[in-house]
Amino acid sequence: MRAELVAVGTELLLGQIVDTHSAFLSRELSGLGIGVYYHTSVGDNWNRLKGVVEQAASRSDLVIFTGGLGPTEDDLTKEVVAKVLGLQLVEHPPSKVALETLFGERGLSVPLSNYKQALVFPDGRVFANPNGTAPGVAVTYGRTTFVLLPGPPTELYPMFENEVRPFLEEIRPDGVLVSHVLRFYGIGESHLTERLGDLIQKQTNPTIAPLAKEGEVTLRLTAKAEREAEARSLINPVKEQILRTVGRFLYGENEETLERAVVQELTRQRKTLALAESCTGGLLAHMLTSVPGASKVFQGGVVSYTADAKKLMAGVPADFLEKKGAVSMDAALSMAEGTRGRLGADFALSVTGVAGPAPSEGKPVGLVYVGLAARGEPPRAHRLDLGGSRQKIQIRAAKHALFTLLERLKKGERTR
């Protein structure tokens, strides 16, 4: 079954809101064994929406629309689909009653414009909407099934779970799609795909899809089979081949993030962490504290943004700063060890650098030093030369610091 998702709303094209519905629906359809081939966004314009409906009908077996089911004149989705299919919308008495009940409970009469929300496709399916005024509707015409869902998230998501999912389970083809995600750090997308060239070129089932993110790369392995266990048995040997080639860059799988992996490993080893941040401005602390359970391992940290703060809060000697500067290997080493000692942690990470947009201390944008201190050992630091915008440099520096600690934890070296 070839599926297509259409997000309707001029606000999407203006950048006023982001289409998160298509991402949600793609994940859900994949789990149902339904492949999504196209995502389309279109404004509230009759002719352009008509063209999208006609194109979708010509190439897809399932088309799901989100948005455009409201009571106003620019809510056109249902009307345009009906026009393209040559169908006359009819009143659905239960939906009309639901409208009148909802407004009546508020002590209001139903605005005349809202009654169009009770119009549905003849011989179609209606999905109840206890959270709003627009029911969802579906109709199969020729070989294509059209599903129209309301745009507000508080209406769409429960409607999908309670009404649409069972409907799709009725009409979907046999089989399931199963995906498994491998997450890598320390290797770029081009180098990763180059090393896995033959495997990617010969892919059939499962498929292998690389995706570059800020500072990391993922590979999504997707297999189709009659049963989930069979699909996973197709994925496993391909996964093993990949790990034999680039496994040293793997840090996690599926929904795992670098910060989650670090918190889990610190928890497993019963170790604690402190932070001394400069150019990342607290980003590392934010990433770690977004993970549930981080309080068991994260002692705290300082944002020592200026030279004075580095002396007062991170314990960096004044002569280090005078001789080497705040952006230096010595500063990173001292920040890490000083903060670790002050907070009594087993480990400490430090980050100091130039995020831009202008050079600092005569040092170029993108120059970053990451320090790592461990109880009972000399601190270590290394230099990074990062590119991109200020925000990208900050994100990449923070992720590099986390990966540095994760590698250290996985090596199993003792701390006293």
Give the pair of three-digit tokens for residue 365. 């944008």
Final residue belonging to a domain, choices 145, 171, 197: 171
Around 334, how many Cα atoms within 13 Å sit in the side-chain half-sphere?
23
pLDDT tens digits for range 137-149: 999 999 999 999 9
Final residue in a domain of this structure, among 221, 253, 285? 253
My answer on whether 183 and 148 are in the same domain is no
Over the stretch 177-226, which tens digit does the pLDDT of each residue have? 888 999 999 898 899 999 998 898 888 899 998 888 777 899 999 998 88
The answer to the question of residue 370 being in a domain is yes
What's the CA gap between 282 and 200, in Å, rounded? Answer: 39
Return the CATH number at 328.
Answer: 3.90.950.20
Note the pLDDT of residue 412.
Answer: 65
- Both 181 and 216 in one domain: the answer is yes
Q: Containing domain of residue 37, as a range?
A: 2-171
Same domain, 164 and 192: no
Residue 211 is predicted with a pLDDT of 84
| 26 in a structural domain | yes
From 410, 354, 411, select the one nearest 386 (Cα to Cα): 354
- Give the helix, strand, coil percentages of the chain, each rounded to 5: 45, 25, 30
pLDDT in tens, 295-328: 999 999 999 999 899 998 988 888 878 888 999 9
Q: Does residue 364 lie in a domain region?
A: yes
CA–CA dist 251, 340 (Å, integer): 25
CA distance 50 to 42: 10
Handedness of CA 276, 280, 283, 288 (dihedral sign): negative
Same domain, 264 and 378: yes
Residue 288 has φ and ψ, to the nearest 5°, of: -70, -40
Q: Which of 223, 253, 283 is the last residue of a domain?
A: 253
Q: Same structural domain for residues 134 and 74?
A: yes
- Exposure pattern of 312-343 as b/e (b: 16+ CB <10 Å)? ebbbbeeebbeebbbbbbbbbbbbbbbbbebb
Q: Are residues 374 and 269 in the same domain?
A: yes
Give the chain's residues under pLDDT 50.
Answer: 414-416
Do the strands 347-353 and 216-225 form a parallel or antiparallel pair, or are they unpaired?
unpaired
Q: Count other C-beta atoms under 10 Å from residue 194's C-beta.
A: 11
Question: Which residue in the block uniquely carries the two structure tokens 């309670």?
Answer: 162
In angstroms, rounded to a whole number, what is the distance separating the alpha carbons of residues 3 and 148?
Answer: 13
Q: Edge-to-edge strands of the sheet including 136-141?
A: 35-42, 2-8, 62-66, 144-149, 136-141, 125-127
**Helix pair 77-85, 46-59: axis angle to 10 deg:** 60
65 falls within a domain: yes
Residue 170, classified by CB atoms within 10 Å of its CB into exposed (0-12), middle (13-18) or buried (19+), is: exposed
**10, 148: one domain:** yes
> 190 and 164 in one domain?
no
Give the CATH number for residue 65. Answer: 3.40.980.10
What is the C-alpha to C-alpha distance for residues 13 and 105, in angstroms, rounded to an integer? 36
User: pTM value?
Assistant: 0.69
Q: Map 383-394 to HEC letters.
A: EEECCCCHHHHH
Q: What is the CA radius of gyration of the chain?
A: 27
Return the DSSP state at 118. G
| CA neighbor of 94 nearest in space, from 135, 65, 122, 33 | 135
The answer to whether residues 345 and 230 belong to one domain is: no
* Within-domain flag for 416: no
- The pLDDT, as a whole number, for residue 226 is 85
Give yes or no: residues 99 and 119 share one domain: yes
- What DSSP string describes 199-258? HHHT--SSEEEEEEETTEEEEEEEEEESSHHHHHHHHHHHHHHHHHHHGGGEEEETT--H
Q: Same domain, yes or no, for 155 and 14?
A: yes
The tally of domains found in the chain comes to: 3
DSSP state of 348: E
The per-residue pLDDT for 415 is: 39
Query: Could you tell me if residue 272 is inside a domain?
Result: yes
One domain for residues 228 and 268: no
The pair of three-digit structure tokens given for residue 93, joined into one six-digit string: 């008495």
pLDDT (0 to 100) of residue 227: 87
Does an H or E element contain 341, and which?
A: helix 329-343
- Give the domain CATH number at 218: 3.30.70.2860
